Amino acid sequence: MDPKLSGLEQWRNIAKGIATLLLIFLAGIILFTLVFELVILLKPRVPEFTFRNVGPCLGLDQKRVERFEVGDEQYICADMETNEPQAQLDLYIYESENKNQVYVKDAVVTSGPIAYDIHPPLPPGKYRAYISFDGSALVDFEFEVVERSDQ
């Protein structure tokens, strides 16, 4: 049998129980805060990107064109600025009509002019392209490949 506790001893027993529950609750809050902070700190920081003059160009000299002609060296060029020393960007190209992916290429780039060579060259048609970082589209645009005009 449990001994009968007097009034003061009974209150001490209750106080010990409440103190234990408060310590467990406090430890839970501290643990939750630490895990939350760790998740926030480990979350990758998304760099800032700015693109200008995005579209088709001929060769590495980055001569911009409105469309490619069959036989052209095909490149996608842009002037890009980022707050990262280097970033891996992906170029995706889709057929405009049926949205089939026809080309993908990745490159590690720095701020300044960037160019993706398209090899083998795309056949005549309309295309939609986008440049992405970590799966998120940063810039998208449309372009076309046409038959050579001097034929």
For residue range 18-37, list pLDDT tens digits in order. 999 999 999 999 999 888 88
Residue 136 CB burial class (10 angstroms; 0-12, 13-18, ≥19): exposed
Segments making up each domain of the chain, as ranges = 1-43, 49-146
For residue range 102-132, list pLDDT tens digits in order. 999 999 999 999 999 999 999 999 999 999 9
Q: If pLDDT is split at 50, 70 and 90, which confidence band does 5 have? A: low
pLDDT at 3: 63
Going by C-alpha positions, the residue among 143, 150, 140 that lies closest to residue 75 is: 143
Beta strand ranges found along 4-123 (DSSP E): 49-58, 63-64, 68-69, 75-82, 87-95, 101-109, 112-117
35, two tokens? 């895990």
- The CATH number of the structural domain formed by 49-146 is 2.60.40.10
For residue range 129-147, list pLDDT tens digits in order. 999 998 889 999 999 999 9
For residue range 37-92, list pLDDT tens digits in order. 887 777 666 789 999 999 999 987 778 999 999 999 999 999 999 998 999 999 99
